[in-house]
A and B are shown apart, each in its own frame.
Chain A
Amino acid sequence: MARTVIPFGPQHPVLPEPIHLSLVVEDERVIEALPTLGYVHRGLEMLATKRDYTQMIQIVERVCGICSMLHSLCYCQGLEELLAVEVPRRARMLRVVWSELHRLHSHLLWLGLFADSFGFEALFMQFWRIREKVMDLNEGTTGNRVIVSVNVIGGVRADLDAGQVRWIRDTLLEVEASIQSLQSTILNDATVCRRTRGIGVLTKEAAYELGAAGPMLRASGIAQDLRQLGYAGFDELDFEPVVEIAGDCWARSSVRFRETLQSIDLVRQALSKLDDKLTPGELAAKAAGRPEGEVVTRVEQPRGECLYYMKANGSLFLERVRIRTPTFANIPALTAILPGLDFADVPVVVLSIDPCISCTER
């Protein structure tokens, strides 16, 4: 049977960011998939050697807009370890609040895009309508909708007063009810299930061996979530990783859907810890000296595990900043699950890894 190579991307209706896949197909069956990158590479790791380590906070926030808060959190945690700074408890809890609001709006963004990938535009609109309320929370508490810029070395730069805490609680009640109202559609609707169940299966063994991360890993039955490490204030909060076992597109959407509700719960838990101390406390410990040595830190971003390696020599400039983002980890798994699929399923499966190419290329 004759083989054909079909280019998928870099511009495609389902791709919010550019990645190119060379799909080798026989009839409409995918035989092989070869990814090509390089459309949005910005050299941000190199820039780390040319900006001082405090300026780098603003730069790592721009590795990815959607998980900007988690990038700066991971970066600041590394420097706090190098500088032996202990972050105040209130700041750790505030970091939980904003990082979970980020996960919430990121997953809602993805759920909408995913619905759009199989042509369910009304569902896309509903998820994005809900997301706007979370973006309002970001803007109202930090001044920005996406790149919230709250992390500083040693803590955070913003606080929440009692009125803001009440506003967040009230808004999350509405958001939670709205999300729950869409549960049966995204997880049980027959037309949705026909496009997602049994499609793009990544087995538990393959997910582990291919180094998959985040919801991609947990949807294949592996209960690993870096928040279990207890960074920021997660060590004081009660949660279990959200896991599915089917490993298909449906399982990945189920994990992300359930994680939106989990994030709401975690924000509430963190806010209740803030309530313990009604008078705003210290927000950032003073970081003295210059960083020296090397460190590896990890956080759980919406798309999965993010790793920062940093090497400092006691000067203002870091010698090396290496950023391993979750989509970078999930691309090998994507190339493994595409062969054998019908060509029509490729957009849905590509979307199911929640690809962030700006993150990946940095």
Chain B
Amino acid sequence: MSIEAMAIDPAGLVAEVARLKAEGWRLVTLTSVELDATRMEVLYHFDRGLTLKHLRVAVDKGGQLPSISGVFFAAFLVENEIRDQFALSFDGLALDYQGKLYSETAQTAESSPFCRYQVKTAKEPG
């Protein structure tokens, strides 16, 4: 079983979200999910009249997605959270905490908790 979600290319994300907003959908939240050692995806959940619609965007770990906070201001909070937890950055964030939403020190790919498979520090030989 998997949820019915429309796959979207990152380049077309903001336009698609703007189209949904124009159709009366409101943003519920975003969900970031690890796929494998190098890839993750972000699900965008929208609601209209108690019906949910989902968009699915695949992205490289440590990569970047366009922020949708210019369309839905409320997205700034969850995009900052994903930045903290997955070290995924968002271009054009309306309010950018620079990886410090939950912590006083900026989260990096090495310290972000959900990036556990991403970073392997090689041991010095000998």
Contacts and interface: CB of A to CB of B under 8 A. Distances in A.
Interface in B10-34: 21, 26-29, 31-34
Contact of B95 (A34, A37, A211): A34
Given A309-B43, A332-B76, A332-B77, A209 B3 contact: no
B7 interface: no
Given A41-B102, A311-B33, A296 B52 contact: yes
B59 interface: no
A contact face: mostly helix, strand, loop, or mixed: mixed
A261 B36 CA distance: 49
A309 B5 CA distance: 13
A45 B29 CA distance: 15
Given A307-B45, A329-B29, A224 B50 contact: yes
Nearest to B103: A38
Contacts of B26: 208-209, 211
B114 A305 contact: no
Interface in A321-358: 322, 324, 328-329, 331-333, 336
Contacts of B74: 209-211, 329, 332-333
Interface in B85-115: 85, 95, 101-104, 113-114
A295 B31 CA distance: 12
A295 B3 contact: yes
Interface size class of B (residues with CB under 8 A): 20 to 34
B31 A46 contact: no
Contact of A322 (B2, B31, B50, B113): B31
Interface string A203-221: 0000011110000000000
Contacts of A211: 26-29, 72, 74
A309 B31 contact: yes
A226 interface: yes
A143 interface: no
Nearest to B101: A37
Interface string A54-91: 00000000000000000000000000011000000000
Name the residue in B1, B49, B52, B72 with the highest tally of chain A Cβ atoms < 10 Å from its Cβ.
Answer: B1
A328 B104 CA distance: 20
A324 B28 contact: yes
A163 interface: no
Nearest to B49: A224
Contact of A319 (B2, B33, B52): B33
Contacts of B3: 294-296
A336 to B, nearest CB: 7
Interface in B31-83: 31-34, 43, 45, 49-50, 52, 54, 72-74, 76-78
A208 B47 CA distance: 10
A228 interface: yes
Contact of A295 (B1, B34, B76): B1
B1 A294 contact: yes
Name the residue in A81, A305, A322 with the highest tally of chain B Cβ atoms < 10 Å from its Cβ.
Answer: A322
B89 to A, nearest CB: 19
A305 B45 CA distance: 13
Contacts of B77: 328, 331-332
A229 B113 CA distance: 34
A58 B76 CA distance: 30
Q: Which 4 A-B residue pairings sit nearest by Cβ, starting from the closest? A: A293-B1, A332-B74, A38-B102, A324-B29
28 contacts: A41-B102, A46-B114, A208-B26, A209-B21, A209-B26, A209-B74, A211-B74, A292-B1, A294-B1, A295-B1, A295-B3, A296-B45, A298-B52, A305-B28, A307-B29, A309-B33, A311-B33, A319-B33, A320-B31, A322-B31, A322-B32, A324-B28, A324-B29, A324-B78, A329-B28, A329-B74, A332-B74, A333-B74
Given A38-B101, A294-B1, A295-B1, 5 more contacts: A34-B95, A295-B3, A311-B33, A319-B33, A332-B76
